[in-house]
Structure 1
Amino acid sequence: MKHTLALSVSAALTLGAMNAEAFTQPTHKRIVKDAISYMAAHPDTTEYNKLAAAAQAAGYSMEQFAEVLGQGAYDVDDFADTFICGAVTGDCVEAPVWGAGASIVKYTSYWHFQNHTRGGDAHGNDLGGYNYDLLTVWGAVDNLAATWLVGDHLDDGKGGMTGWCFFWSCSEDSEYNSYGITEANYRQGSSSNKNMYKDFEKIPFQPIDNLGQHWYNEFWKNPTAQMLGFTLHTTDLLQPHHTWTTSDLNHSGWEGWVEDNYTALDLNNDSLVTNALNSFTPVPANQKDIRPLLTQGGAISYSQGGIVLSSTSASDRTQVAQVVIPHAIAMTVHVLNHAANRF
């Protein structure tokens, strides 16, 4: 167990403003739109025509279809699906009060990691998600959350988990069965028990590829643009902080920089995306598990982007951005190619 920090209220508020969600929501949306634009420019090497036919059948123009897909990728950061309950207060909330004013302030973001610095997790996943106790890189934001939430547990509705009991009373203000719904959705063949979620500082959150697989399964059952858009939030895997796994270490500064410089650096450059496509092994048409493809994206950001955790220089950031954004677009193209055969 790493040492946590005793922080003043003013320091907590300052650090709260640093907390973030991986690529900014507008960047998530733009990656999806750029993937569709790339497919439109390369109908002979992508499944663009099938995708366009599906959009037309659903009553969308391609511009509208791209907007709905991109909005789905954007919206995952706003899900109100993860509540953590106070060990002392019994109050279950979806965000820390010290996160007020931050770009992303919801606990749902803890499902958006895939830790490539370690092996398998307690659930049996080949690569785990966010787990404060097992982080290999971390910073003050990670420590702040673990200090603030020490002993707090994931809301399990009426499932029986409670905080610390005083005077024979165990009050609980459950808001949402995050364990029975969200965690169960993201379990995806792995195993879990409630004891894993009783103390925030040791919680092994499910990895983001499981999140993506859940929404892709939902898309497969009910092929809508929104469900497919939710799947595409997995471009978080091309954000190095989400594969090195930390909420800190220039996390939000890097995200903002990518959004601000996306156009100037021509990060959706056609040739860069074409080259990036070859870095992935496509999902076979007869398989529905897209996690191997998603993990390939995570391996790229982990191996190529670690410098942005320690450096804020424009040259270092440019070098990484010119790798991870084209690969995020390329990974999205691969998912869309596979999905086009379901419509």
Structure 2
Amino acid sequence: MKKLAIAGVLGAAVLASPAQAFQQITHKRIAIDAVNYMKANPTTTEYNRLKSWVNAAGYTMDQFAEVIGQGAYDVDDFQDTYLCGATTGDCVYAPVFNAGSSLVNYTSYWHFQNHTRGSDVHGNDFGGYNYDLLTVWGDIDNLAATWLYGDYMDDGNGGMTGWWWSDDSEYNTYGVTEANYRQGSYSSKSMYDDFEEMPFQPIDNLGQYWYSQFLSNPTAQTLGFVMHTTDLLQPHHVWTTSALNHSGWESWVADYYDSENLNNPAMVTTAIQNYTPLSASSNDIRPLLTQGGALAYGNGGIVLSSTDHSDRLQVAQVVIPHAIAMVVHVLNHAALKVNP
């Protein structure tokens, strides 16, 4: 039996800042609620196998739930993505126009899977955020593309520079973050030399990277990072836009999560049945994650145009239980992997 380690704070993560996906507390609640659902349904989930593994490492299930929830929360705070000014070569991890917008750190651009289009230039079945290829967009998308026009991705000392051959690289985003999230696809630096045409890798590749890290060295924290892929159940992240009521919808979900009983166990039970379980013999969780994205794309588009409470409630009663259910499926698979 493999041991579970509760890891320390990841070097790429930083102190909390405002959220730009499902709100960070919502990500955390979804992960914790998935563990609680398994606890209440041990005969239909791998809860006992999971509990045996966690307890053998000296932790309670409540402690485990807290750590994976915090991991899901922390991904929005990663300082792992720097973009550099086209003229100045100055490399930063967040936009100066950020105040009051739904965009916080540039790391958020890895948190999309565009279901409005097919495969991308990397060879992924669905691409990630790419301003040039957006099907729906709004003010924040336009603001970013205007402000960042011609800006390039920090590649360390890899040769990409500003117009005057100036470059103050802060982090090798292309050689580390993009490479990590490539996950078998193809990339070249030229893909990342102008922000307005950058084909960011999709969030299922982010999830697959962290899951592979978990399998090679099981920790609750890295498993928690995987759970940030519940962004795939946030309709804006599969219709792919930083605007169109993006932040307002996420605030609404956080505000009504409890009062509207969005984590209703009966709805989670139904949602679990709508997924094809992962094969225990496979290490690739992306088919499951993409199922979640397809569900949000097919059922959640109204929240891009409507702020009506009843419209938002109708969508939330689908996507939140399915987000919890997706985490349950991942935890079931993880339990089978580390405690066969």
CA–CA distance in structure 2, aligned partners of residues 163 and 204 of structure 1: 20
State the one-letter code of the partner of 1:258. Answer: V
State the one-letter code of the partner of 1:183. Answer: E
CA–CA distance in structure 2, aligned partners of residues 22 and 244 of structure 1: 13
- Per the alignment, residue 315 of structure 2 pairs with 320
Specify whether residues 321 and 27 from structure 1 end up closer, same or farther in structure 2 by C-alpha distance, changes over 3 A only: same
CA–CA distance in structure 2, aligned partners of residues 257 and 194 of structure 1: 39
- Per the alignment, residue 167 of structure 2 pairs with 172
Q: Deviations over 1:76-126 (max 9, x none)?
A: 000010000001111000000111355651000000000000000000001
- Per the alignment, residue 11 of structure 1 pairs with none
| Residue 122 (str. 1) matches residue 121 (str. 2) | yes
Unaligned runs of 5+ in 1: 1-18
| Residue 194 (str. 1) matches residue 189 (str. 2) | yes
Aligned partners of 1:77 and 1:104 also within 8 Å: no
Q: Map 1:31-46 onto structure 2 (within 5 A).
A: 31-46=30-45
- Per the alignment, residue 293 of structure 1 pairs with 288
- Per the alignment, residue 106 of structure 1 pairs with 105
Normalized against structure 2, the TM-score is what?
A: 0.93
Unaligned runs of 5+ in 2: 1-17
- Per the alignment, residue 271 of structure 1 pairs with 266
- Per the alignment, residue 79 of structure 2 pairs with 80
SS in 1 for 2:26: helix
CA–CA distance in structure 2, aligned partners of residues 234 and 276 of structure 1: 16
| Residue 330 (str. 1) matches residue 325 (str. 2) | yes
State the one-letter code of the partner of 2:114. Answer: N
CA–CA distance in structure 1, aligned partners of residues 295 and 175 of structure 2: 33
CA–CA distance in structure 2, aligned partners of residues 248 and 84 of structure 1: 20
Aligned partners of 1:20 and 1:102 also within 8 Å: no
Q: Deviations over 1:228-263 (max 9, x none)?
A: 000010000000000000000000000000000000
Q: Map 1:139-288 onto structure 2 (within 5 A).
A: 139-165=138-164, 170-288=165-283
CA–CA distance in structure 1, aligned partners of residues 224 and 301 of structure 2: 27
Q: Deviations over 1:268-324 (max 9, x none)?
A: 111100000011001100001000000000000000000000000000000000000
State the one-letter code of the partner of 2:112. Answer: F
- Which stretch of structure 1 is more off in the superposition, 37-46 or 53-62? 53-62
- Which stretch of structure 1 is more off in the superposition, 145-154 or 97-106? 97-106
Specify whether residues 157 and 219 from structure 1 end up closer, same or farther in structure 2 by C-alpha distance, changes over 3 A only: same
SS in 1 for 2:276: coil
Aligned partners of 2:101 and 2:140 also within 8 Å: no
Q: Map 1:54-65 onto structure 2 (within 5 A).
A: 54-65=53-64
Aligned partners of 2:235 and 2:296 also within 8 Å: yes
- Which stretch of structure 1 is more off in the superposition, 19-28 or 309-318? 19-28
| Residue 52 (str. 1) matches residue 47 (str. 2) | no
Count of matched residue positions in the alignment of Structure 1 and Structure 2:
321
Specify whether residues 20 and 78 from structure 1 end up closer, same or farther in structure 2 by C-alpha distance, changes over 3 A only: closer
CA–CA distance in structure 2, aligned partners of residues 76 and 223 of structure 1: 18
Aligned partners of 1:223 and 1:342 also within 8 Å: no
State the one-letter code of the partner of 1:148. Answer: W
SS in 2 for 1:144: helix
Normalized against structure 1, the TM-score is what?
A: 0.92
User: Percent same amino acid among aligned pairs?
Assistant: 72
1:26 Cα shift? 0.1
State the one-letter code of the partner of 1:239. Answer: Q
1:60 Cα shift? 1.1
State the one-letter code of the partner of 2:90. Answer: D
Specify whether residues 103 and 131 from structure 1 end up closer, same or farther in structure 2 by C-alpha distance, changes over 3 A only: closer
Aligned partners of 2:280 and 2:337 also within 8 Å: no
CA–CA distance in structure 2, aligned partners of residues 146 and 282 of structure 1: 39
Q: Map 1:4-19 onto structure 2 (within 5 A).
A: none
- Per the alignment, residue 336 of structure 2 pairs with 341
Aligned partners of 1:212 and 1:231 also within 8 Å: yes
SS in 2 for 1:32: helix
1:342 Cα shift? 2.5
- Per the alignment, residue 12 of structure 1 pairs with none
Aligned partners of 2:102 and 2:243 also within 8 Å: no
State the one-letter code of the partner of 2:288. Answer: L
CA–CA distance in structure 1, aligned partners of residues 317 and 143 of structure 2: 32
CA–CA distance in structure 2, aligned partners of residues 190 and 123 of structure 1: 5
SS in 2 for 1:340: helix
1:171 Cα shift? 1.1
CA–CA distance in structure 1, aligned partners of residues 155 and 58 of structure 2: 40
Aligned partners of 1:77 and 1:109 also within 8 Å: yes
SS in 2 for 1:117: coil
SS in 1 for 2:52: helix
Name segments (4+ residues, structure 1) moved above 2 Å: 100-104
CA–CA distance in structure 2, aligned partners of residues 301 and 341 of structure 1: 27
RMSD over equivalenced CA pairs, Å: 1.0
